[in-house]
Structure 1
């Protein structure tokens, strides 16, 4: 597929320096790979083939249009400073489509509307808030979309190392800002952030000011996110914040040690709290018990590893923290309605 950066090369070169055409940048390559698999075509090629809309092609970044054989709509993204991408998309597929790819680590947050939340987060799909945050370590990732479902979002994606620059610009703690992104999906949101993100959808700045506008927009969104982090602890909030800190500490440990001993006693020793206190904190913050959280994380980890066909299911079971393949198979079937082997075979066929 032809690269569509030629149309906007001058403005892209001004803002991206050595990443003038984007190619070779991990974030850029990840986006282009997924867009190619999802049957979208860059604007220059789409317009030459007679579809797409010239008035939707922005002055900077890249605009892609869905191939009419598969659906309709557009997808725009803009790489800034080599480590930040802003996105606006609104697409609908006529037939089921899927993307399976190897992703790089990234952090991201955005406003996901219409049917999009159902593909991103069960928690957000069931809530009134459509803000979601992602702290992704990279690895195999599969996206499957059903026909006749409108998918719309306005989001910001950054390389993990960029979080320090934004935290320094806002004079806030880097770790707290990162945690604020990760828990955005299950929090009550951040005041003003949905409107700020929606600006990525509706504003088409002129080429002469576009780069400055999008840089300012990213800082605005991060500032609103940072402002949602409590600065002072009042006596009324002390218990809840204590619970949140305890659970965040344990979740971080769990996510990094899925194959290790994660018994309730072990977790209590790590957090230096009683069993009752830990379970109560988890229920207050996560809405479930520590062991429920562990089961979900282990199964999701195992499901992702199944995308790598070079790995034996017995090895995946061990990596996911199960004592043997049989225990992993039983748990997987209860959660997903199919066995790990059948799931892998289905992916191979599709």
Structure 2
């Protein structure tokens, strides 16, 4: 039987800054916010370090990629004036500690304590974010692509569904007692180049172990999905994706998968972190983003192609999901892509 530790080590050997999936996710964001890549080693860091251009603001953004599936990082910056960035978000699992300035971007009440720990699952969708000027934004984070989540789960001898659900349960109201201090250790540590990867990798595994143990202690551990459950979700996803112009109801999905409504909703929450209709909304909005950026179709035509009979309803739904009206999103995305 293969050693789980060997599986974790057998990953893509992508060096920092070589254009891997991790770099493709972070670099566009930091550049658009005025980040300038500097020699991390000269500042006592391993990985990649960006300093915010003084003409734009002040602060830094650092991350250390482990292979091409996993990264730890931290940022602490403030812009002089409102700014923004556009990027293609990847499917990934993310947790970290946030200062109060970051909480509104997570949809969390700022009344929560500073250094709030939150976890969530990002879905692959073009992402646009405006950043308020004059507000300090600080975060220490761990990001795992799906392959890394599976690898870490093997190390912990648990099902990936258990780990992903445990991360999603970090809602800012409670977390493992030692998790905040562990994230602080990652931010403050300055390991040498020789041991940096082993150091940060061990911290990630330890953090995930704390999260899973905390979730189990709460008595809310999810049941691993069976092969039939996985197949049912796959069938439902295919039906949603095959004709975006005609929205599929949850009842239709249940008939096609031979699964009851409550169970199908639970299966989607465990595997995707959302309900079937929330998944359908994200797929439709992702396609709408692609059409806005790559075609000159009118908003009415795009609305029809993603299942909205009224342009106004589409615009409202798009703004709620993507943060800007479709017309502004199109202009901003094309400008930032240049």
TM-score with structure 2 setting the length: 0.71
Aligned-pair CA distance for 1:295? 9.4
Q: Which of 314-323 and 253-262 deviates more?
A: 253-262
Aligned-pair CA distance for 1:217? 0.8
Find the partner of 1:131 among 101, 112, 118: 118
Mapped to 2, the partners of 1:311 and 1:169 lie a distance apart of 48
- Find the counterpart in structure 1 of residue 204 from structure 2: 218
Is the counterpart of residue 26 in structure 1 residue 21 in structure 2?
yes
3-state SS of paired residue (1:198)? helix
- Find the counterpart in structure 2 of residue 39 from structure 1: 34
Aligned-pair CA distance for 1:300? 5.6
Contact 1:74 1:90 in 2 (8 A): yes
Contact 1:77 1:87 in 2 (8 A): yes
In structure 2, relative to structure 1, the CA distance for the partners of 1:207 and 1:44 (3 Å cut) is: closer
Task: Name stretches of at least 5 consecutive residues in structure 2 with no aligned partner.
Answer: 1-10, 224-228
Is the counterpart of residue 160 in structure 1 residue 143 in structure 2?
no
Mapped to 2, the partners of 1:329 and 1:59 lie a distance apart of 44
- Find the counterpart in structure 2 of residue 149 from structure 1: 135
Aligned-pair CA distance for 1:36? 1.7
Quote the RMSD (CA, aligned, Å). Answer: 4.4
In structure 2, relative to structure 1, the CA distance for the partners of 1:232 and 1:319 (3 Å cut) is: farther
Spell out the pairing of 1:247-286 with structure 2 (5 A cutoff): 257=240, 259=244, 261-263=247-249, 265-266=251-252
Mapped to 1, the partners of 2:16 and 2:280 lie a distance apart of 43
Find the partner of 2:107 among 122, 133, 140: 122
Is the counterpart of residue 79 in structure 1 residue 65 in structure 2?
yes
CA offset digits 1:14-69 (Å, max 9, x no partner):
xx984335313221233223222211112239x9xxxxxx6xx2341122211110
Find the partner of 2:167 among 175, 181, 195: 181
In structure 2, relative to structure 1, the CA distance for the partners of 1:104 and 1:216 (3 Å cut) is: same
- Find the counterpart in structure 1 of residue 7 from structure 2: none
Mapped to 1, the partners of 2:82 and 2:216 lie a distance apart of 42
Q: Comparing both chains, which one has the higher relative contact order based on Cα–Cα distances under 8 Å and sequence gaps of 6 or more?
A: 2
Contact 1:140 1:307 in 2 (8 A): no
Find the partner of 2:295 among 310, 319, 331: 310
In structure 2, relative to structure 1, the CA distance for the partners of 1:333 and 1:75 (3 Å cut) is: closer
Contact 1:22 1:79 in 2 (8 A): no
Contact 1:60 1:211 in 2 (8 A): no
In structure 2, relative to structure 1, the CA distance for the partners of 1:19 and 1:326 (3 Å cut) is: closer
Q: Which of 207-216 and 79-88 deviates more?
A: 207-216
CA offset digits 1:288-314 (Å, max 9, x no partner):
xx7995897578657745652426334
- Find the counterpart in structure 1 of residue 5 from structure 2: none
Contact 2:100 2:112 in 1 (8 A): no
Contact 2:15 2:67 in 1 (8 A): no
Mapped to 2, the partners of 1:213 and 1:203 lie a distance apart of 9
Task: Name stretches of at least 5 consecutive residues in structure 1 with no aligned partner.
Answer: 1-15, 48-53, 243-247
Number of aligned pairs?
Answer: 308
Mapped to 2, the partners of 1:62 and 1:336 lie a distance apart of 29
Find the partner of 1:106 among 92, 98, 110: 92
Mapped to 2, the partners of 1:126 and 1:136 lie a distance apart of 27
Mapped to 2, the partners of 1:163 and 1:171 lie a distance apart of 12
Mapped to 2, the partners of 1:174 and 1:322 lie a distance apart of 35
In structure 2, relative to structure 1, the CA distance for the partners of 1:173 and 1:296 (3 Å cut) is: same
Q: Which of 260-269 and 89-98 deviates more?
A: 260-269
Mapped to 2, the partners of 1:336 and 1:160 lie a distance apart of 23
3-state SS of paired residue (2:215)? coil
In structure 2, relative to structure 1, the CA distance for the partners of 1:168 and 1:241 (3 Å cut) is: closer
